[in-house]
Amino acid sequence: MKFFQQFFASGTLFIWLAGGALACSLLLIGGLLTIIFINGMGYFWPKDLVQLTLKNDTRVLGEIVDTQRIPETATADFPDGQTRMQLKVGNRDVYGLDFRWVDEADIAQRTWPQDVIAFERREWGNFYGWVTAVWDGDTPLVKGRDIAWNAWYPFLEQAESLHREIHHIERDVIGAINADMERARLNLKTLELKGKVSVDSADSLQQDIQQRELAYQEQVQRLVGLYERLNRYRVTLIDVTGEERIFPVGGLVKAWRPNAMRVWDKTLMYVENIWNVLTDEPREANTEGGIFPAIFGTVMMVLVMSVAVVPFGVLAAVYLKEYAKQGLLTRMIRIAVNNLAGVPSIVFGVFGLGFFVYAVGGTIDQLLFSASLPNPTFGTGGMLWASLTLALMTVPVVIVATEEGLSAVPREYREGSLGLGATKFESLIRVVLPCAMPGILTGLILAVSRATGEVAPLMLTGVVKLAPALPVDSQFPFLHLDRKFMHLGFHIYDVGFQSPNVEAAKPMVYVTTLVLVLVVLLLNMTAIALRTRMRKRYAGASV
């Protein structure tokens, strides 16, 4: 009895409880990250292709992605039940589905053919098989099952550079012509609206438009030529069941022979694959290709939000802490601010849509962009409104953290400053705020973490599945805050819940999640590094 009394009094139980709780949290976080990491990073490894001959003499070729036990198959021979495996067989256009389950009991033979080729295609997903013919237009260059890699692979590399050129023309060159043309058209319409259209100015604008139209047609001709070159060389591909299909080499993204590759080659390709996903644009309604626009959109939105939230939040906190008379009113305001942090994000989204997009944006359109109406410019969701909505959502965090930081500045500092003859404003700017900087940055870190993971309010205020252009580009005025943008969080929702081919899209969801976590980490690390530097600079300030 005495032992138990002592045990409780010593607090050992409490320490164990506290330690256990911490261990549980760490385990959960670690487990979650591990699952995301394994599933996300495994996606990039070029897996071997296994060829199965089934007992009914059909053949199947693909990557093994999963194995599981078949329920209710336990017999005397197989006490645990039999297993089956899921293969990624690709060739969606031929088989209808990319994946297939095969019972292990049906397999007569497994081989790993050395010469089998995996192709990543611009459409329809992967193709697994062999090249049986190479065509130049309609004339065959080579035929047969043993075509050398070099007989067609150079065409693929050539196609890649053609693709880059086409992409450049379509996006940059034609994009610039369009922007100019649009501007000329709007100028003309503005003049008409104001009723100040003179024959001369209208004529010169019309001519301008016509010239650009001609320039556009010229680029289109260039594109036609490029597409012809792209589709000139074609290959016949054969799958494991003997079905043949002809594809233009330009329709292939890359080709590799997984079974013949050594670990070193695979590692190189692994790194290359990761790089491609991070830098490429999405294809096929986001289920394939890269996620660069989503990364860009996420980071940029957070930066714009930070620019808006920090001054706003700091000013509010400074007034509340330093200038306002402390009393019932300030207490109530503090309670309101704290409660604001608990308002569900979707409510902020609805507010952003109603206030920013429709009220403010609509008014801006009426006043400044009336020429392009009824097409809205700012009267529709966009980067600016989404960032401001998130800034509103996170401003309580910054206010609270800044107030904490201000309270931590020792009284002697203020008094010293005042005693040396500085005004209250001067000591605030020169002494108090710099000392409170680490606290402000803590607020920013919390704000960034909350904002990066937020999706619901963005869906109402400017995030889209596929944005035609980035919010920053080489066209005047370079920063287009009115544009809609892509976001990693929404990408996860879209690919995970909306894409028709869930099995194929699953790895993409993990990859996007992993990237989102890394982006949050990176943004936080930057802010933390900044804070550490500040702390060193004002060492001893905030005791």
Partner 1 sequence: MKHSQKRRQMWVLGLGIGLFMGWAGTAILGSSNAWAKDEMEDPNWVNYAKVSGVSGNLNSIGSDTLNNLMTLWAEGFRKQYPNVKIQIEGKGSSTAPPALIEGTAQLGPMSRKMKGKEIDAFESKFGYKPTAFPVAIDALAVYVNKDNTLQGMTIEQVDAVFSKTRQKGYKENLTSWGQLGLTGMFADMPISIYGRNSASGTYGFFKEKVLENGDYKDEVKEQPGSASVVQGVTEDQAGIGYSGIGYRTSSVHALPLSMKAGQPFVEPTFENSASGEYPLSRYLFVYVNRAPNQPLSPIVREFLKYVYSREGQKVVIKDGYFPISEKIIGKQLEHLK
Backbone angles phi, psi at 468, to 5 degrees: -65, -25
Assess 178 for contact with partner 1 (CB under 8 A): yes
Q: Which of 70, 299, 333, 371 binds partner 1 (CB under 8 A)?
A: 70
Considering beta carbons, is residue 11 or 354 the nearer one to partner 1?
A: 354
Among 434, 453, 496, 507, binds partner 1 (CB under 8 A): 496
**Is residue 177 at the binding interface for partner 1, with CB under 8 A as the rule?**
yes
Complex with partner 1: residue 98 or 403, whichever CB lies closer: 98
Stretch that binds partner 1, among 106-114, 165-173, 319-327, 515-523 (CB under 8 A): 165-173
Task: State the Cα–Cα distance between residues 126 and 119, nearest whole angstrom.
Answer: 6
Structure-token match 């957070």, residue found = 302
Map residues 502-531 to x or -, x wherever contact with partner 1 holds by CB under 8 A. xx-x--------------------------
Q: Are 305 and 144 in contact (CB under 8 A)?
A: no
How far, in whole angstroms, is CA 453 from its chain's centroid?
A: 11
Q: Is 542 exposed, middle or buried (0-12, 13-18, 19+ CB in 10 A)?
A: buried
Q: How many CA atoms lie within 13 A of 17 on its CB side?
A: 5
- Which of 37, 45, 78, 124 lies at the binding interface for partner 1 (CB under 8 A)? 124
Separation CA 112–CA 105 (nearest Å)? 19
- 130 is a contact residue toward partner 1 (CB under 8 A): no
d(CA 481, CA 308): 13
Nearest to 484 by CA among 280, 283, 355, 300: 300
Structural element, H or E, at residue 115: none
**Is residue 162 close enough to count as binding partner 1 by CB under 8 A?**
no
Smaller CB separation from partner 1, 436 or 460: 460
Interaction between residue 333 and partner 1 (CB under 8 A): no
* Among 41, 54, 64, 94, contact with partner 1 (rule: CB under 8 A): 94
Q: Is 52 helix (H, G, I), strand (E, B) or coil?
A: strand
Pairwise CA distance, residues 367 & 400, whole Å = 37
Rounded-to-integer distance, Cα 353 and Cα 356, Å: 6
Q: How far apart are CA 197 and CA 190, in angstroms?
A: 9
Question: What distance lies between CA 87 and its chain's CA centroid?
Answer: 28
- Specify the residue, 414 or 483, whose C-beta has the smaller distance to partner 1: 483
336: contact with partner 1 by CB under 8 A = no
- In this structure, what DSSP letter does residue 409 have? S
Q: Is 186 in the site for partner 1 (CB under 8 A)?
A: no
The β-bridge partners of 246 are 236
**By CB under 8 A, residue 144 contacts partner 1:** no
Of residues 439-468, those binding partner 1 (CB under 8 A): 464-466, 468
Shortest separation between residue 102's beta carbon and partner 1, angstroms:
10
Cβ proximity to partner 1: between 446 and 486 the closer is: 486
- Among 306, 402, 499, 513, which residue sits at the site for partner 1 (rule: CB under 8 A)? 499
Quick one: which of 48, 54, 59, 93 contacts partner 1 (CB under 8 A)? 93
Query: Which of 59, 163, 232, 245 is close enough to bind partner 1 by CB under 8 A?
Result: 245
Per the CB < 8 A criterion, the answer to whether 245 and 19 are in contact is no
Which of residues 58 and 407 has its CB atom nearest to partner 1 in the complex? 58
Tell me: does residue 361 bind partner 1 (CB under 8 A): no
Chain residues binding partner 1 by CB under 8 A are 70-72, 86, 92-101, 123-124, 169-171, 174, 177-178, 181, 216-217, 220, 223, 243-247, 283-286, 374-376, 464-466, 468, 484, 496-503, 505
